[in-house]
Amino acid sequence: MRSLTRLAMVAVSMMVLITAVAAAADQTPIRIGIIYRYSGGGPPMGKSLDAAIAAYQALHGDSVAGRKIEFIKRDDGGVAPDVARRLAQELIVGEKVDALYGLLFTPNAIAVGSVSTAAKIPVFVTNAATSELLPPNPYMVRFSLTETQVAAPLAVWAAKNGIKTVYSIYLDYGAGHEAAEAFKTAFTANGGKIVGEIAAPLTTETYVPYAQRIKDAKPDAVFAMVGPVNGGQGWVKAYQDVGLAAAGIKFLATNDLTTGWNLPLLGDAAVGIVSASNYTSSFDTPANRTFVKAYQTAFGSAFQPDFEAVAAYDAVDAIYRVVKAQDGKLDPDKTLALLRGMKFDSPRGPFYIDPQTRGAVQNIYIFRTDKINGANVNVKIATLPMIKENGQP
């Protein structure tokens, strides 16, 4: 009789275990909708985003707390707010996604913001770098940076390192104006002087006249927010050809010019550029070496991850953390509460989500581009610790 009782108890235990395993297997995936640029001209940003996701899942698996994490991709094709808004609606209503992720361009992110707010859908922003984005969109959290966050520390560094006068050139759109204004505010507050400014159209084909005007003004340095996609290479060429380098005018730039994929395209003209960013792939830390190896396995060894790729990687990390903390769920309000104040070590260094602004707080590094073993490399020359999105410590 006792043997029969024990056998019955074992049988019941086995049935409970089988039922639990089956229930876990039957759970639907956590679905994350991606809105990003996969087509159109310029660098392969969509492929880089995918490589960052693949790198994280190669290291940590594709499931957390018994739920598979599934990404559903949509291509916005570039700056297209109406397209981004429609894609967000389709992902939320048609695909029943639990969260949105990506967003390369601020106009697209702003358009998605109204949709996410109405639907109470968390949005993990991996780029979209203008400061106006987060305040009106309570379900958005940014894992990248703002233009102010890199331009203001660069200005502080310049003023404290013997640069007294600067001429600014920037692209005539929201991000360009934000970068230039942040640089001017911080530079003048630290005793520097802006001797001239040029807002260059996005369609600029030659920068030679602008470079000549700057050379004639004889500043100590030029601050450039010209971007690699919309003329960055043309500006760098004009800087050299017109003779600004030969005249001793130093070259300060935002991080979009000195990304790992753009540096080889700039050639020897990149040597000497001083830029500010939250990341470079050459960081010699265990976390970064692991990330770079997994990223290059997914993308290809010829391509180095940049600040957008590390933001994409960290945003996946945050998704896994909030799902685990909710025992396999992704409730919108609980997710936002968990994200506010979240801290972790990233390949970029220490990382923190400001509980008030939902923005990234992180180290900003000053880099000088040098030629090392025949390749352009960003070499860290200074660290400004834990800078907020408003450019302040």
Determine the structural domain holding residue 230 and report its residue range: 148-281+365-387
Residue 1 lies inside a defined structural domain of this protein: no
Q: Nearest 5°: phi and psi at 342? A: -65, 135
The 10s digit of each residue's pLDDT in 13-34 is 445 444 434 444 458 999 999 9
Question: Are both 87 and 157 inside the same structural domain?
Answer: no
Question: Are both 258 and 290 inside the same structural domain?
Answer: no
Question: Are both 287 and 269 inside the same structural domain?
Answer: no
296-331 in b/e form (b: 16+ CB < 10 A) is: bebbeeebbbbbbbbbbbbbbbbbbbbbeeeeeebe
pLDDT at position 1 is 47
pLDDT at position 217 is 98
Residue 3 lies inside a defined structural domain of this protein: no
Neighbours of 210 (CB within 10 A): 21
pLDDT at position 270 is 92
Residue 241 is part of a domain; what is its CATH number? Answer: 3.40.50.2300
pLDDT at position 288 is 97
Per the CB < 8 A criterion, the answer to whether 358 and 141 are in contact is yes
Q: Mind spelling out the 3-state secondary structure of the chain?
A: CHHHHHHHHHHHHHHHHHHHHHHHHHCCCEEEEEEECCCCCCCCHHHHHHHHHHHHHHHHCCEECCEEEEEEEEECCCCCHHHHHHHHHHHHHHCCCCEEEECCCHHHHHHHHHHHHHHCCCEEECCCCCCCCCCCCCCEEECCCCHHHHHHHHHHHHHCCCCCEEEEEEECCHHHHHHHHHHHHHHHHCCCEEEEEEEECCCCCCCHHHHHHHHHHCCCEEEEECCHHHHHHHHHHHHHHCCCCCCCCEEEEECCCCCCCCHHHHHHHHCCCEEEECCCCCCCCHHHHHHHHHHHHHHCCCCCCCHHHHHHHHHHHHHHHHHHHCCCCCCHHHHHHHHCCCEEEECCEEEEECCCCCCEEEEEEEEEEEEECCEEEEEEEEEEEEECCCCCC
Q: How many domains does the chain have?
A: 2
Residue 10 lies inside a defined structural domain of this protein: no
Question: Are both 288 and 272 inside the same structural domain?
Answer: no
User: How far is it, in rounded angstroms, from Cα 349 to Cα 163?
Assistant: 28
Per the CB < 8 A criterion, the answer to whether 139 and 114 are in contact is no
Considering the entire predicted model, what is its pTM?
Answer: 0.90
Residue 34 lies inside a defined structural domain of this protein: yes
Question: Are both 205 and 326 inside the same structural domain?
Answer: no
Residue scoring higher pLDDT (232 or 17): 232
Residue 113 lies inside a defined structural domain of this protein: yes
HSE toward the beta carbon, residue 274, CA cutoff 13 A: 20
Across 24-33, 43-52, 164-173, 234-243, least confident range: 24-33
The 10s digit of each residue's pLDDT in 310-350 is 999 999 999 999 999 999 999 999 999 999 999 999 999 99
Residue 9 lies inside a defined structural domain of this protein: no
